[in-house]
């Protein structure tokens, strides 16, 4: 799993900082999460192949998370895209994009499919044989979802030497990987656990931005591998966090600790701060495994 941060700063695009957008590579998918103004330029800068983006997840309709979407959709058209594009986002997103395409007389030449969200409960919005994506209802000033990306458990690992020792025919190896007991060439029943090891534990990534501090999400995030949690403010500005429905670095650390995640990535920094280092230091007073997002940074999860 690889996460590329295209932008991780709050509010407005600036000369050297971009609003929220990131790309998650997971099991051959390239999922784009949020799409602030300038995202298409950041995709180019980070050499991400436009045609590989087939699913876009939009957390909410504040501009710093979605104003780049219509431009990206239009550029896909200019690039003669043919494959489907799926957009998951709050109710209303289809109307915004459709109106602009209509008034510019620029309908897409590829299938553009909207999956509008309005549920306030977690729901699985994408699933195939390797990955699932579920919403994480967040508390912000407008309807907002985080997204939880989970790998599905892989096949069990074949212990090739043991399988050979037990005289198992090669044609049965796939059955063994799928967890089945098999019959050896000697006619004996070989219990699966004798010739396999458990698969690698499936990884998971949760994107939670924007949100006020909300312990209500901890249960859903329990034991996930990596949590990206917004930290617009430091504790010194905690009084701003509640009314604007944002979080502090310490609060993000608290969610990470209580959910027992493996790693916390902080992002959505207010540009009022001269340095983002204090965000890490503050979160680490609560939870040790903290990293800072930054534009152009790549995390191998």
> Which span (93-101, 122-130, 171-179, 219-227) binds its own copies, by CB under 8 A?
93-101
Give the tokens for residue 101.
């395409």
Q: Does 287 bind its own copies (CB under 8 A)?
A: no
Q: Which residues of 13-41 are buried (b: 16+ CB within 10 A; e: fewer)?
A: beeebbbbbbbbbbeebbbbbbbbbbbbb
Q: Is 64 a catalytic residue?
A: yes
Q: Which of 13, 137, 253, 267 is in the footprint of its own copies by CB under 8 A?
A: 13
Does 219 engage in binding with its own copies (CB under 8 A)? no
Q: Which residues pair with 132 in a beta bridge?
A: 127, 150
How many residues touch its own copies under the rule CB under 8 A: the total is 34
Q: Is 62 in the site for its own copies (CB under 8 A)?
A: yes
Q: How far apart are CA 295 and CA 199, in angstroms?
A: 34
Q: Does 169 bind its own copies (CB under 8 A)?
A: no
Q: Of 37 and 282, which has the nearer Cβ to its own copies?
A: 37
Q: Distance between CA atoms of 168 and 170, rounded to whole angstroms?
A: 6
Nearest approach in angstroms of CB 215 to its own copies is: 25
Give the footprint of its own copies on residues 17-56 (CB under 8 A).
Answer: 37-38, 40-41, 44-45
> Could you give the dihedral angle defined by the CA atoms of residues 213, 219, 224 and 229, in that order, rounded to the nearest 10 degrees?
-10
- CB atoms < 10 A from the CB of 268, how many? 28
* Residue found under tokens 């152009």: 296
Q: Which residues of 62-73 are buried (b: 16+ CB within 10 A; e: fewer)?
A: bebbbbbbbbbb
Q: Which stretch binds its own copies (CB under 8 A): 96-104, 186-194, 250-258, 259-267?
A: 96-104
Query: Is 68 among the residues that bind its own copies (CB under 8 A)?
Result: yes
Write down the catalytic residue from 64, 128, 165, 186.
64
Give the interface with its own copies as residue ranges (CB under 8 A): 11-15, 37-38, 40-41, 44-45, 61-63, 67-68, 70-71, 74-75, 78, 90, 92-93, 95-96, 99-100, 103-106, 141-142
């Amino acid at each position: 799993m690889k996460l590329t941060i295209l932008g991780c700063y709050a509010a407005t695009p600036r000369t050297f900082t971009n609003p929220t957008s990131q790309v998650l590579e997971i099991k051959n998918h390239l999922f784009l999460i949020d799409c602030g103004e300038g995202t298409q330029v950041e995709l180019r800068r980070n050499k991400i192949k436009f045609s590989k983006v087939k699913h876009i997840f939009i957390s909410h309709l504040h501009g710093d998370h979605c104003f780049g979407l219509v431009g990206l959709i239009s550029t896909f058209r200019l690039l003669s895209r043919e494959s489907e594009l799926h957009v998951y986002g709050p109710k209303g997103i289809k109307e915004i994009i459709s109106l602009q395409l209509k008034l510019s007389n620029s309908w897409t030449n590829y299938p553009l499919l909207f999956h509008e969200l309005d549920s306030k409960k977690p729901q699985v919005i994408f699933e195939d044989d390797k990955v699932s994506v579920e919403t994480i209802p967040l508390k912000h000033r407008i309807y907002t979802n985080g997204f939880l990306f989970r790998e599905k458990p892989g096949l069990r690992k074949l212990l090739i030497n043991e399988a050979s020792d037990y005289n198992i025919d090669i044609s049965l190896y796939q059955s063994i990987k799928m967890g089945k007991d098999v019959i050896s060439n000697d006619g004996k029943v070989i219990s699966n656990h004798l010739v396999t090891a458990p698969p690698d534990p499936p990884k998971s990534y949760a994107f939670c931005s924007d949100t006020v501090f909300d312990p209500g999400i901890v249960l859903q995030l329990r034991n996930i591998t990596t949590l990206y949690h917004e930290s617009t403010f430091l504790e010194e500005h905690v009084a701003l966090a509640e009314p604007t429905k944002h979080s502090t670095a310490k609060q993000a650390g608290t969610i990470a600790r209580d959910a027992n995640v493996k790693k916390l990535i902080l992002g959505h920094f207010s540009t009022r701060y001269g340095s983002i280092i204090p965000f890490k230091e503050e979160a680490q007073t609560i939870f040790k495994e903290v990293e800072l997002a930054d534009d152009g940074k790549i995390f191998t999860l």
